[in-house]
Structure 1
């Protein structure tokens, strides 16, 4: 078993985010390779997040924690159970739509945004997405009742890599539909433009309704000097609101302009060095014997003096340790 002593990606981002474009490209490409390997084996991870992505001593990525994974999946709409970490769950899980491999790529889109900006892309009760201009706009319409169905259509404003290879426009082929726990039984419809959405999700099963609404209806905002290729990868491909359209996008990720120049064969073989240096920890002295107390409490801070009143609470037990007897001595 490989020792992953480079820590997890969350710790790495806490120290270094936002990362350079080269570091973002490297991490994104290696995570894509890992996801493709899992999906080719019929495994949907369902909990992709920085805490579950570990680094070895060189900085190469390893996906871990398969406690919520589903195996033997061979359809893009085979799963229905709602599991995962709320901040990284795809909107199809919130809308209770059957899902598959594409849900992992939505999670990846959130992570890539965090890698590149150091911010979370959606709003929540305690998180506000980055400021600056949004270059992705969408028109979202929905009818909300006890059962919520939504048809999502979008357009891209601005230019991504000169021309947008596949503009998301018109009506998405599949209709996003699902059941959301709602308190209102009446039917309400609304139209949203840009990142301001008015889709009423009612009272959902999840605690943070602001987060659910943001993931389902809003698009992330990007800095003005943000890479157009990376913006397209995140907002148009990975965070695509339509799971079926996202399935089509992820088939061609390796040929996306953002990965131009990446040798995928060498990357999969681990032959491409990370574009950064890992922190080197001082070597540990494993030859010196240490008492367990020294390891647990090296500064002797976990032994506060007990008051006379509290000492009496521990008297009369059938077993009294030698240490306790010494403490009891006047």
Structure 2
């Protein structure tokens, strides 16, 4: 039993006995049945795989009832990287280098295990209270894609998607580094590198043209990295990214400290406003009020989610 405050698809919760703050992601099974049921199993699989690495949001467990899927997550209080960029970019070199290095380690961790995130963007990168990043949201992840393997499924957020995805061409795990390039550009300049409107044709034209303009005051090493991760050829981009940690821009980075979490962010996080509520409600009451007038999904459909629940070692 948790007590909860509803925030869209996520409720802020506390465990009644330990009083530990949690975030519970709620997903309606009826929506998954209409969309892609397998995606939720892939997300759970990736959360299990990443549970031992501090660079990802930790999932304590997953459970379900007859109508909902639940992910019980750690509560990350530093907010989204998007807010950090909007309030602080253009960032200084040390800040840009540190955040980029942590994201690189996160991507290397995923790719070594055959996982492509496919929706890397500032909204899907959280920051803890000390400023370390935590990659989140694996709803569009692809699994079992190693090294030279390619896939063709269209997935992602248009402004952060590599051209080969837009063009329905085969792609490899370097699409995540392309997305990293967009984020690096935002961190370093405070601007989005491509067309930001709603026209899908103009978004594709802007990205596929490879006519990116670099500010004259952009650090030359950042410019060089961007040219590497924005390479048109997925194979050439992947080759560049395999050695990206040895790029001169990261000469002062102790990668061992990044991997272990010992590295200290070169900036101070501003205190985040605590989420408060004038009252708490049992999660069961929240669910019943939301679904009271809807017909429950059939027992046959519920059977499709057999085996979904799990509990992490940390939670046990």
**TM bracket, shorter-chain basis:** 0.5 to 0.7
Conserved in 2, the CA contact under 8 Å of 1:18 and 1:118? Answer: yes
- Unmatched 5+ stretches in structure 1: 127-206, 294-330
User: How far did 1:78 drift?
Assistant: 2.0
Partner of 1:264: 255
Q: 2:244 aligns with which of 248, 253, 273?
A: 253
Q: Secondary structure at the match of 2:126?
A: strand
User: How far did 1:283 drift?
Assistant: 6.6
Conserved in 1, the CA contact under 8 Å of 2:189 and 2:218? Answer: no
Partners of 1:119 and 1:60 lie apart in 2 by 22
Q: 2:229 aligns with which of 225, 238, 257?
A: 238
Q: Please, what is the CA RMSD of the aligned residues?
A: 2.0
Q: 1:60 aligns with which of 118, 132, 139?
A: 132
Conserved in 2, the CA contact under 8 Å of 1:54 and 1:63? Answer: yes
TM-score between both structures, scaled by the size of structure 2: 0.63
Q: Which has the higher contact order (CA 8 A, sep 6+)?
A: 2
User: How far did 1:292 drift?
Assistant: 6.2
Q: 1:273 aligns with which of 264, 277, 288?
A: 264
User: How far did 1:123 drift?
Assistant: 2.4
Q: Secondary structure at the match of 1:54?
A: strand
Question: Which of the pair is proportionally richer in helix?
Answer: 2
Conserved in 1, the CA contact under 8 Å of 2:77 and 2:272? Answer: no
Partner of 1:166: none
Partner of 1:51: 123
Partner of 1:157: none
User: How far did 1:75 drift?
Assistant: 4.1
Q: 1:219 aligns with which of 190, 211, 215?
A: 211
Count of paired positions = 209
- Unmatched 5+ stretches in structure 2: 1-57, 59-73, 282-316
Change (3 A) 1:274 1:79: same
User: How far did 1:43 drift?
Assistant: 0.5
